[in-house]
Chains A and B, each alone.
Chain A
Amino acid sequence: MLSSQIKSNEIEFGSCNKYLLEEIIFYGMGLGADFVEIFIENTDNASVLAEEDYITSVSPSFGRGAGIRIFKDKRDGFVSTNDLSKHGLMRSVSQAIEMLDINDKNNKEVFNGLNKYRDYSLSKKTWIDEVPSINEISEKLLFSTKFLKKNNKIITRKGSYSRNLQEVIIASSDGTYASDIRLHQTVGLNVIASDAQYRSNGSRRFGSSGLPNEFRLWDHEKAANDVFESSMNMLYADYVEAGQMPVVLANKFGGVIFHEACGHLLETTQIERGTTPFENKLNEKIAHESVTAIDEGLSEGSFGSLSVDDEGMEPEKSVLIKDGILKKFISDRAGELRTGHKRTGSGRRQNYSFAAASRMRNTYIAKGEYSKEDLINSISDGLYCKSMGGGSVGATGQFNFAVEEGYLIKNGKLTNPVKGATLIGEAKEVMPKISMCGNDLELAPGFCGSISGSVNVTVGQPHIKVDSITVGGR
C-alpha cells in the first residue's frame, strides 16, 4: 500500500456551485431574511503519533458539512448540517428562517446575485500532494523521539504530527463569493523525566499555515534537544514561593499573556456581552506607553494567517494598541452589526458547525529597544518565565496562566529553576505594568478555544517585563 494515499483527493469546489448557491440565497431572502450566508467545508485531516520508538497511531479523518446563517435585524439564526444536497441546504435555510420567526417581507430584491468569484485556492490545489507522506512523517517523528532519549531519566517520549486541510466556499447575500484552501501542519514533542520522587515535563509545539514543505525543513534534532534540556532543567526544581513580584516573560509563546489578558477583551463578542473593561476606552490609554499590540492574518506561514476569513473578507492588519492607546477592536460581521466596530477580517470558526465570531489571528506585542539582559538586569528579586503553559480569561477580565519553565531572578541574574508557578491578574491592572519591551520579537503557534470553537492562532512578543504580578505557588 502507498501511505501517501491517505488523503481524499476529492476536494473540489468551484464556480460550478454558483447557481445553486444563488438559488439558496434567493430562497432565504425571499422568505424575509436581511442577510443570508452559506459556508461549505470539506476537510482532509491526518494525524500520527510516535511513542518511544514506535508509531502507535495513524488517524485519517474526512468531513464535509455546511453552516447557514441568517440575519434578521440584529438577531442571527445558525443551522449546520452534513447534508450538502440541495434539499438539505434548503431545509437548513427554512429552519433558520423559522427559528427567527420571520414571516413579514420578501427581501429578494436586496440580493443582486453573487459577485465575481474570488478563488484564493487557485495556487493551493497541489498542496495535498506536496505534504509529506505518512511514511516520511513517521520516519521523522521516530528520529525525533530517538533524539529525546538522552539519558535514563527520560521515562516517556512522544512525537505527534497533524495535518489539517480545509477547503471552504463562502457565499452571502452581499455578493460575497470566495473559496480557499487552508493547510495547517503541527508537530509536538514531549517527554517526562523522572528521578526518584522528582518529575518534570518538557514540551514544545511547532506549526505552520500553508507551506506544505515546512515539516521537511523542521529541525527535529534541535527541537528534541530543546525539549530534553527543558525537562532536565526543571527535574529538580523547587516550587516557587508565592507572592507579588516583577517578572520577565520570554518571547514567542510568552505572548499568551497578551492573548489572554487583553486580546480576548478586544474582541467585539466581549463588547456584545458587556464583559470587557475596554468597551468605551477607544483612544484612551489602557497600557504602558511602551506597549504597541497588533493582530493580523498576514504573516506568511504563521499559524494564524489566512487569505480570507470565514466570512469572505481579506484579513487586515489591526493595530489594537499604539503606544499604550487603544486604537481598534477585533470585529466580525455580527460584531459590526451589533457594536458598530468595522469588520477587520477576523470572522473565524473551527468548522462548519460553528457560526463565525470575532477571533484573534496572529497577535503580538511589537518589539521595543531593550535586550533580554536589560530586562533581567533591572530586577533584583523576581521571576523569569521561559516557557508558558495554557491560560484563560473569565467574565470579569481576570486571567491566569501556567509557567512551565521558570527561573528565579536574583540581583539581575537568572538563578534556580522553579516550578508550579501560575500568573494571575486582571488585564486592566497588568497592561499598564508592562514597562519594558525587548528587541527580539518572535511568534509561536497555538490553538485558541472560544465561542466559535478551536482556531489556529499565533501569539508573540519580544521579552517583556511586568513590574508586578501575582505569582501563585506554594
Chain B
Amino acid sequence: MNSRELTNQISKAADFLNLKKWDYGASFSNDYSVQVDKGEAKQLKASQKQILTLRVWNESNLVGITTTSDISESGIKKALNQANIASDFGNKNESTEFSPLAKDPIKVKDEKKRNPLGIKKLLTLLREAEVKLLESHESIKSVPYNGLSESFYERVYANSDGAFRSFTKSQAALYLYARAEEKDKKPRSSGSVKLGYGVNDIDIESCIKDASNKTISHLNYSSIKTDKYLICFSPESFLTIINAFSSIFNARSILDGISLSNKNSIGEKLSTEALNIYDDGLHEKNISSSPFDGEGTPTKRICLINKGRIENFLHSESTARVFKTIPTGHAGLGSKVSVSTDWIVVEKSDENFDLKTSLDHSTYEGEFVYIEELNAIHAGVRASQGSFSLPFDGWLYKNGTKISIESATVAGDIKYLLKHIVNIESNQEVTTSGVSPHIWVDELSITGDA
C-alpha cells in the first residue's frame, strides 16, 4: 500500500466510524545488514517493517492514540477504534491540536537517494574492511563489533484537515570496533562509525584507519591521579554532553518540571559569551535529516544559545501554544508529544575576546586531559539535577607527551561546565551527531585508579 492509499483507507475507515478529526504518522522501511567474524559471515539480516501511529480526537476534543504494525483494512479500523477508546483518557489539562504549520512548505534537501547494493556486496565490503583492520597492527586480534547496513524508508504525516507530507530516503552505516591485546597488558578497544546516503558514499578506508589508529594509540596506558584537571573535550564528546542535557532547551521538559530551565529562562546567561549553539536538522552534513517532524511541522535551524544566553526553546504544537510561540519542528507523535533535538551545531561567537586562545589541543604543552569519547550516558547523567559522572576514553597531556588514560570518570555539573569554558577552538568538526570545535573547560574532577 502506498502512503496516499493508506491516507484514503484511514479517511474511509474514520468516516465509517464517524470520527471527524484524526492524524497519523507512518514509516515503512527495508533494512539490510551484515556482520562478520574473522572473514566468515556471522549474521546476515533483512527486515521489512511498517509502523502506523494514529491519533483520534473525540467529541470533547480529547486525543487518543494507537500504534500498530497491521495496516490491513481491519487493522486500520481496529487501530482507529482503539484510539477512540483511548481518547476517553485524553489529557484534560493540556489540549493537543494539529500543528498550524502542517501544511507549510517544507524544505527538502537534495535527497541523494541510493539503490540497494544487496547483502552479498555488503558482505564482501565488510570482509575486506575487517581483513584490512586486522592487518593494520599486530596487536589488533579481533573486530568484535562490526556491521555494514543500508536502509530504505519512507516517512509520512497526514491529517483529516488535508495535510499530507512524505519523504523517502536511503541511509547506510559502517561501524568497526577493534580489540587489541598485548602480553601482560589489559586489552584495549576502540572504534569508528561512518554514515552515508548509500554504502558507496561511506569512506571505508578512513573508517578502518580511524578504528585502527584509535585502538593502537591507547595500547600504552597509565592510570591517572584523582584530581581536578584542565579538560579539552573533543567535538564528539562535547556534543554528547550537550545532547545529554538538551532538556535545558526542551519546552516539554520545562513544563514537566524536569528541566534545569524554566519558562522565564529565555535570556538567561548560561555560558561564556563566546558560545553559540544551534539546532539545525537540515544541516548539509546531517545524513539523517528529516524535512518535517512527527506533527508535520517543517524542520528548521534554530538558535538555542546566542552569545552565552538562552535564545530559544524547542517546541511541539502544544508547548508552543503554552509559550505563545510557534512549533519549531522538533516534536514526536505520541499520546504525550515529546520534543527532542535534531542536529546540534556548536560554534564560537563573535564575542570571543576573553578566550584563552593559546589552548589548542594540537600545540598546547601544559598539562590537560583530553576527553575523546564519553561512555555510559544512560547511567551517568542526571539531567534533571544537572550532574554527570561518566567513564571516558582519553589522554593525559603533560610536558609535550600524551599518555592514554586507563579507566577513569569525569564528573561535574553542566551549568558549571558551560560557565567555565575557557576556550573554543576555531575549527569545527563534523561528527555523526552534529558539528562542534574542541572545547576547553577549567577544573573538572577526574577519578582514576591512582
Interface contact B91-A54, CB-CB below 8 Å: yes
List of A residues within 8 angstroms of B407 by Cβ: 398, 424-426, 470
Task: Point out which of B69, B177, B188, B387 has the most chain A C-beta atoms below 10 A from its C-beta.
Answer: B69
Chain B contacts for A395, CB-based, 8 A: 144-145, 177, 179, 187, 189
Interface string of A196-233 (1 = CB under 8 A from B): 00011100000000000000000000000000000000
Q: Does A346 contact B (CB under 8 A)?
A: no
Partner of B48 from the list A51, A80, A426, A472 (CB cut-off 8 Å) is A80
- Interface flags for A89-131 (1: CB within 8 Å of B; 0: not) read 0000001101111000000000000000000000000000000
Identify the closest chain A residue to B393 (Cβ).
A394
A435 within 8 A of partner (CB)? no
| Residue A273 lies at the interface, judged by CB distance under 8 Å to chain B | yes
B86 near A58 (CB under 8 angstroms)? yes
Inter-chain CA distance A424–B382, complex, in Å, is 17
Residues of A contacting B83 in the complex (Cβ-Cβ under 8 angstroms): 60
Complex contact B336–A99 (CB within 8 A): no
Q: Mark B63-90, 1 if CB is under 8 A from A, else 0.
A: 0111111100001001100111110111
Question: Which of B50, B68, B82, B186 is A6 in contact with, Cβ under 8 Å?
Answer: B82
Residues in A lying within 8 Å of B, measured CB to CB: 1-3, 5-6, 8, 10, 48-49, 51, 54-65, 74-83, 95-96, 98-101, 134, 138, 155-156, 192, 199-201, 239, 242-244, 272-275, 353, 355, 389-392, 394-398, 400-402, 419-422, 424-426, 470-474
**Contact flag A54-B93 (CB < 8 Å), given A75-B41, A400-B391, A402-B379:** yes
Chain A residues with CB below 8 A from B448, complex form:
470
A155 to B144, CA, bound (A): 45
**Set of chain A residues within 8 Å of B66, measured between Cβ atoms:** 59-62
Q: Say whether, besides A99-B119, A402-B389, A57 and B91 are in contact (CB < 8 Å).
A: yes
A419/B68 in contact, CB under 8 A:
no
Q: By the criterion CB–CB under 8 Å, are B379 and A401 in contact? A: yes
- Cβ of B411 < 8 Å from any Cβ of A? yes
Interchain Cβ contacts under 8 Å between A and B, 19 examples: A1-B88, A54-B91, A54-B92, A60-B65, A62-B66, A63-B69, A74-B40, A75-B41, A134-B89, A242-B411, A244-B449, A272-B42, A395-B179, A398-B391, A402-B389, A422-B447, A470-B447, A473-B411, A474-B445
Q: Taking the complex as formed, is B257 at the interface, i.e. its CB lies under 8 A from any CB of chain A? A: yes
Instruction: List residues of chain B with CB within 8 A of the CB of A471.
Output: 447
Kindly provide the distance from the CB of B450 to the nearest chain A CB, expressed in whole angstroms: 9
Q: B226 to nearest A CB, angstroms?
A: 5
Q: Are A62 and B447 touching (Cβ within 8 A)?
A: no
Decide yes or no whether B37 CB sits under 8 A from chain A.
Answer: yes
What is the bound-complex CA distance between A155 and B385, given in angstroms? 12
- Contact at A6–B86, with CB atoms within 8 Å? yes
Q: Shortest distance in angstroms between A406's beta carbon and chain B's nearest beta carbon?
A: 12
Whether the Cβ atoms of A273 and B382 lie closer than 8 Å is no
Which residues from chain B contact A3 at a C-beta distance below 8 Å?
Answer: 85, 88-89
Chain B's nearest CB lies how many Å from the CB of A459?
14
Q: What residue in chain B is nearest A472 (Cβ atoms)?
A: B409
Residues of B within 8 A of A242 (CB): 226, 409, 411, 445, 447
Judged by a CB distance under 8 angstroms, whether B378 is at the interface is yes
Query: Which of the residues B41, B86, B391 comes within 8 Å of A59, measured between beta carbons?
Result: B86
B144 lies within 8 A of A274 (CB)? yes
B69/A62 in contact, CB under 8 A: yes
Cα of A247 to Cα of B151 in the assembled complex, Å: 46
Contact of A156 among B49, B256, B409 (CB under 8 A): B256
Contact between B86 and A63, CB atoms less than 8 A apart: no
B45 partner residues in chain A, CB cutoff 8 A: 77-80, 355
Q: Which of B48, B376, B387, B447 contacts A83 (CB 8 A)?
A: B48
The distance in angstroms between the C-alpha atoms of A98 and B116, with both chains bound, is: 15
Say yes or no: A400-B46 contact (C-beta < 8 A), given A58-B89, A64-B69: no
A57 CB contacts on chain B under 8 angstroms: 91, 334-336
Say how far B381's CB is from chain A's closest CB, in angstroms.
9
Chain A residues contacting B449 (CB-CB under 8 Å) are 244, 470
| Contact (Cβ within 8 A) B375 A394 | yes
Complex interface bits, B328-369 against A, C-beta within 8 A gives 1, otherwise 0? 000000111000000000000000000000000000000000
A419 touches B258 (CB 8 A): no
Q: Which residues of B contact A472 (CB under 8 A)?
A: 389, 391, 408-409, 411, 447
**Min CB gap B47→A, angstroms:** 4
- Of A49, A64, A243, A422, the residue contacting B391 (CB under 8 A) is A422
Docked-complex contact B386 and A199, CB < 8 angstroms = yes
Residues 120-163 of B at the A interface (beta carbon under 8 Å): 120, 141-142, 144-145
CA gap between A7 and B309 in the complex, in Å: 48
At the interface, yes or no: B44 with Cβ under 8 Å from chain A? yes
Q: Is B411 touching A156 in the complex (CB atoms < 8 A)? A: no
A59-B335, A77-B44, A78-B43 given as contacts; is B226 within 8 A of A243 (CB)?
Answer: yes
CA distance in complex: A49, B44 (Å):
38
State the Cβ distance, A227 to closest chain B Cβ, in Å: 15
In the assembly, what is the distance between CA of A8 and CA of B380, in Å? 39
Interface residues, chain B, CB within 8 Å of chain A?
37, 40-50, 64-70, 75, 78-79, 82-86, 88-94, 119-120, 141-142, 144-145, 177, 179, 186-189, 226, 256-258, 334-336, 375-376, 378-380, 382, 384-387, 389-391, 407-409, 411-412, 445, 447-449
For residue A250, give the distance in angstroms from its CB to the closest CB of chain B: 17
Q: Which residue of B lies closest to A63 (CB)?
A: B69
**Chain B residues whose C-beta falls within 8 Å of the C-beta of A63 in the assembled complex:** 67-70
| Cβ–Cβ contact A62 & B86, under 8 A | no
Residues of A within 8 A of B93 (CB): 54, 56
Contact indicator A200/B385 (Cβ below 8 Å) = yes
A81–B28 Cα distance when bound, in Å, is 11
Q: State A214–B184 Cα separation when bound (angstroms).
A: 52
Q: Judging by beta carbons under 8 Å apart, are A99 and B46 in contact?
A: yes
Q: How far, in whole Å, are A394 and B393 apart by their CA atoms in the complex?
A: 12
* 8 shortest interchain CB distances as A-B pairs: A472-B409, A242-B447, A273-B144, A61-B67, A58-B89, A57-B335, A156-B257, A57-B336
Q: Name the distance in Å between A257's Cβ and chain B's nearest Cβ.
A: 12
Contact A56 B179 (CB under 8 A): no
Contact, CB under 8 Å: B89 / A80: no
Additional A-B contacts beyond A397-B187, A400-B376 (19; CB < 8 A) = A3-B85, A48-B89, A55-B91, A59-B67, A76-B44, A80-B48, A95-B46, A134-B89, A138-B89, A201-B385, A273-B144, A275-B144, A392-B375, A401-B376, A419-B387, A422-B380, A426-B407, A470-B448, A470-B449
Complex formed: what's the CA distance from A98 to B119 in Å? 9
Q: Which residues of A contact B78 (CB under 8 A)?
A: 8, 10, 62
B70 touches A64 (CB 8 A): yes
| CA of A62 to CA of B412, assembled, Å | 42
Docked complex Cα distance between A357 and B445 (Å):
39
A474, B384: Cβ atoms closer than 8 Å = no
B40 close to A60 (CB less than 8 A): no
Q: Is B89 a contact partner of A424 (Cβ separation < 8 A)? A: no
A58–B65 Cα distance when bound, in Å, is 7
Give bound CA distance, A470 to B40, whole Å.
39
User: Knowing A1-B88, A422-B380 touch, does A62 contact B79 (C-beta < 8 A)?
Assistant: yes
Interface centre among B92, B186, B447 (most CB of A within 10 A): B447
Complex Cα spacing A281 to B75, Å: 52
Provide the bound-state CA to CA distance between A345 and B141, in Å: 31
Which of A48, A64, A77: most chain B Cβ within 10 A? A77
Tell me the nearest residue of chain B to A199, going by C-beta.
B385
Is B389's CB under 8 angstroms from A390's CB? no
Interchain CA distance A193-B240 in the complex, whole Å: 26
B44→A100 contact, CB < 8 A: yes
Give complex CA distance A61, B70 in Å.
10
